[in-house]
A and B are shown apart, each in its own frame.
Chain A
Amino acid sequence: MEVLGEKLEGIEAMSVKIETPLTEDVIRGLRIGEEVSLSGIIYTARDMAHKRLVDMINRGEKLPFELEGAVIYYVGPAPARPGMVIGSAGPTTSYRMDPFTPTLLSLGLKGTIGKGPRSGEVIDSMVKNCALYFGATGGAAALIARSIVDAKIIAFEDLGTEALRELRVRDMPLIVINDCYGNDLYVEGRNKYREL
């Protein structure tokens, strides 16, 4: 692969291909640090959308999408140019959605995608409910947008960029940050290279 006039080793070479809906078999086979290529349907939601979803759950209302096996991507995309499916779409920081995540995991959510570490409660919940947390690279928003082949708003349109969207992705480049065994790549990675 050539990037900016220099030959670099291929990014796609080592990725494990996985699809949604995520099954427990696939989840148990993945470990922290593994690079994956995700394909299928994922849903986007940020702070306000999460609050609304949990409020709906508490009121016993049906959600706009099926949680079982689902993957949520924390993103507020840039607007699409005419003829494009979506604008640049890198991850937002996940900790803001931590308060709502264990509830969704307990109801079948199997994967979340974002950046930055999750709380202890969320990590425990991922172990208990057999789910994963993937990292999308913050700052690689145009690259990630290339893997999104379809996008439509399915709820909370009034939230604009923060609306709940259904995305179809093909070979979305992700890294496993938390596996279902309680390991955390942020902790292990830093410990390995820390000198202070």
Chain B
Amino acid sequence: MKLREIDVREIRDAVKRLSIEANTSVTPELREKLKESLREEESPTGKAVLRQLLENLEIAEREKLPICQDTGFAVVFVEIGNRVVFTGGLLGDAINQGVRDGYREGYLRKSIVKDPITNPVNTGDNTPAIIHTEIVEGERVKITLLPKGGGAENMSRIAMLKPTDGVEGIKEFVIETVDKAGANACPPLVIGVGIGGTFDYVAFLAKRAILRKIGERNPDPRIARYEREWLEEVNKLGIGPAGLGGKTTALDLFIEVFPRHIATFPVAVNIQCNAARVKSCVI
């Protein structure tokens, strides 16, 4: 098996670029969805908010300003080809240095405090990043950076339901989570749902769900149907843009599933805000 050597400095520099790009420009799919929502929204206040969001995206991209002042926790997903060998240092160190560099050069906000219990000693450089790695086949490295802000994260929830609660139980939990979130997570939202696995893994599934492109359905048609149905239900809550009332409460809803233990029925809902910031690159 021929191995491919990658100097971790390439990873560091990619993470730096992704930090800045993810915070200053959104995906074309999100932009289109916001424009479509503006056309279909019935609430005048809702329309005003959507216009502000669109104008904000334009200013942010043009002037390289962060879309939101909360430039978030740097959550990094790395898919590493099994023929890849990293040289020049540890992968984790390189990723953290990339975050440090990107948050400094991009004038992004440093929002991480060192001791989780006693505020307010800031780490000063937005590290440490949260890093998820996966070994895949091949010789490439795919890096995805998700700057995750506090507002939407605070509205996320996890529950260990009973197996007999069934899909109706999950749907109820999802809708209730969005209802409780209301304006606090900056609607219109993107909703990530994880089902199955263990207490820790189901939350990871929910977060991985929000990496998907707006409009991208789960490849399993049964799950895709739930995605469409639950999105429609959530949009009947009437929360609307900025929570001020309207039809556009969520832009999309993604579900990721995994096998579960016979006695457990874990479900997690990770709420994502209207900026839906995520950027990837492949090395």
Q: Does A80 contact B (CB under 8 A)?
A: yes
Q: Give, as a whole number of angstroms, the nearest-CB distance from A19 to chain B.
A: 21
Bitwise interface map of A from 78 to 103 toward B, beta carbon under 8 Å scored 1, else 0: 11110000011110110100000000
Give complex CA distance A6, B45 in Å: 20
Q: Write out the residue numbers on chain B whose beta carbons fall within 8 Å of the beta carbon of A161.
A: 109-111, 122
Q: Interface size bucket, B side?
A: 35 or more
CB distance from A81 to the nearest CB of B (A): 5
A-B contact count (CB 8 A): 193
Q: Does B219 contact A (CB under 8 A)?
A: no
B41, closest chain A residue (CB): A193
Please state if B238 and A141 are interface contacts (CB–CB under 8 Å). Answer: no
Given contacts A48-B120, A189-B245, contact A115 B31 (CB under 8 A): no
Counting chain B CB atoms within 10 Å of each CB, the highest count among A9, A79, A140, A146 belongs to A140
Q: How large is the interface on A (under 10, 10 to 19, 20 to 34, 35 or more residues)?
A: 35 or more
Enumerate chain A residues within 8 angstroms of B109, measured Cβ to Cβ.
76-79, 87, 161
Q: Which of A87, A161, A192, A193 has the most CB of B within 10 A?
A: A193
Instruction: Identify the A interface with B (CB < 8 A).
Output: 1, 3-4, 6, 8-9, 11, 33, 35, 47-48, 75-81, 87-90, 92-93, 95, 115-117, 135, 137-143, 145-146, 158-162, 173, 175, 177, 185-186, 188-196
A-B contacts, 22 of them at CB < 8 A, read: A75-B69, A76-B69, A78-B65, A78-B107, A90-B68, A92-B150, A95-B184, A115-B151, A116-B182, A116-B183, A137-B53, A142-B59, A143-B55, A143-B59, A145-B65, A161-B110, A186-B182, A189-B243, A192-B43, A194-B237, A194-B238, A196-B233
For the complex of A and B, the 10 pairs showing the least CB-CB separation, nearest first, are: A189-B245, A194-B238, A193-B238, A138-B186, A195-B236, A142-B65, A116-B184, A140-B56, A143-B56, A78-B109
